[in-house]
Chain A
Amino acid sequence: MKRKRAWVNGLAIAVGAVVLGGGCSGKKAPEGSDGATEIHAATVKEVPLDPAAKEWNTARELVVELMPQGVAFPMLQKVTVTKLAVRALVDPNWLGLKLTWEDPSQSDALDVDQFTDAVAIELPVGDPDKTNPMMGSKENPVYIAHWKAAWQRDRDTHRADVQDRYPNFWSDGYPFVSGGHPYPVQESFQSANSRRYLPGVAAANPVSKLAREWPVEELHATGFGSLADHRFQDARARGKWADGKWQVVLAVPRLVADHANPRLPKGAKSKVAFAVWEGKDGQVAGRKQWYSFVDLVLP
Chain B
Amino acid sequence: MAKVKNVQLGREMEYPYEGARPERQIAYVFDTNKCIACQTCSVACKTTWTSGKGQEQVFYNNVETKPYGFYPQQWDVKLLNLLGGGSWQGERYEGKTIFEAAEGSERAQGYLPEQAEYASPNLGEDVVAGSVEKGAFFQGIHQVWQFYLARICNHCTYPGCLAACPRKAIYKRPEDGIVLVDQSRCRGYRECVKACPYKKVFYNMVTRVSEKCIGCFPLIEKGEQPQCVKTCIGKIRLQGFLSRPGEERADNPLDYLVRIRKVALPLYPQYGTEPNVYYIPPVHVPRDFLGQMFGPGVEEAISTYRSAATDQQLLAALLLFGNTSRILHGFRADKTEAVGFDAEQKEVVRVPYTEPFFKRDFFDQKRKVYRLNVT
Contacts and interface: CB of A to CB of B under 8 A. Distances in A.
Q: Do A and B come from one complex?
A: yes
B365 interface: no
Interface in B195-253: 202-209, 211
B183 A203 contact: yes
B189 A284 contact: yes
Contact of A171 (B53, B114, B189): B53
Which residue of A77, A204, A227, A285 has the most chain B CB atoms within 10 A of its CB atom?
Answer: A285
Contact of B209 (A4, A207, A227): A207
Contacts of B105: 70, 73-77, 287
Contacts of A185: 53-54, 206
A135 to B, nearest CB: 11
A70 B168 CA distance: 19
Given A171-B56, A202-B183, A113 B112 contact: yes
Contacts of A85: none
B51 interface: yes
Interface in A156-183: 160-162, 165, 169, 171, 174-175, 177, 183
Nearest to A183: B53
Given A9-B16, A205-B184, A1 B190 contact: no
A227 B167 CA distance: 8
Nearest to A150: B208
Contacts of A111: 115, 203, 205
A70 B104 CA distance: 9
A81 interface: no
Interface stretch (A25-33, A90-98, A193-201): A193-201
Contacts of A70: 105
Given A70-B105, A208-B208, A284 B51 contact: no
B172 interface: yes
Interface in B79-98: none
Contacts of A72: 166
A52 B105 CA distance: 38
Contact of B54 (A77, A162, A202): A162
A74 B106 contact: yes
Interface string B128-154: 000000000000000000000000000
A205 B171 contact: no
A257 interface: no
B187 interface: yes
Task: Find the residue from A70, A162, A183 having the highest chain B CB count within 10 A.
Answer: A162
B52 A112 contact: no
B166 A198 contact: no
Q: Could you say which of A76, A112, A161, A205 has the most chain B C-beta atoms within 10 Å of its C-beta?
A: A112
B113 interface: yes
Contact of B166 (A183, A197, A282, A285): A285
B207 A208 contact: yes
Contact of B104 (A4, A75, A175): A75
Given A70-B105, A75-B104, A200-B186, A205 B52 contact: no
B118 interface: yes
A169 B167 contact: no
A189 B203 CA distance: 19
A77 B106 CA distance: 10
B106 to A, nearest CB: 5
Nearest to A224: B166
Interface in A131-151: none
B204 A1 contact: no
A198 B17 contact: no
Given A74-B164, A285-B187, A114 B204 contact: no
A231 interface: no
B77 interface: no
A227 to B, nearest CB: 7
A207 B169 CA distance: 13
A289 B307 CA distance: 60
B188 interface: yes
B255 interface: no
Contacts of B54: 162, 185, 198
A225 interface: yes
Given A75-B104, A112-B113, A185-B53, A199 B183 contact: yes
A67 B18 CA distance: 32
A279 interface: no
A5 interface: yes
A111 B207 CA distance: 10
Interface string B38-61: 000000000000011111100000
A21 to B, nearest CB: 16
A113 B113 contact: yes
B10 to A, nearest CB: 22
Nearest to B2: A5
A118 to B, nearest CB: 12
Interface string A277-288: 000001011110
B318 interface: no
A53 interface: no
Given A1-B20, A185-B53, 7 more contacts: A1-B18, A73-B164, A77-B105, A110-B188, A199-B209, A225-B167, A225-B168
Interface of B: 2, 16-18, 20, 51-56, 104-107, 112-115, 118, 162, 164, 166-168, 171-172, 182-191, 193, 202-209, 211
18 contacts: A1-B20, A1-B171, A6-B168, A9-B16, A70-B105, A74-B191, A112-B203, A161-B53, A162-B56, A169-B56, A174-B53, A183-B53, A198-B53, A198-B206, A200-B208, A201-B207, A203-B183, A285-B167
Interface of A: 1-2, 4-6, 9, 70, 72-77, 110-114, 160-162, 165, 169, 171, 174-175, 177, 183, 185, 189, 197-205, 207-208, 224-225, 227, 282, 284-287
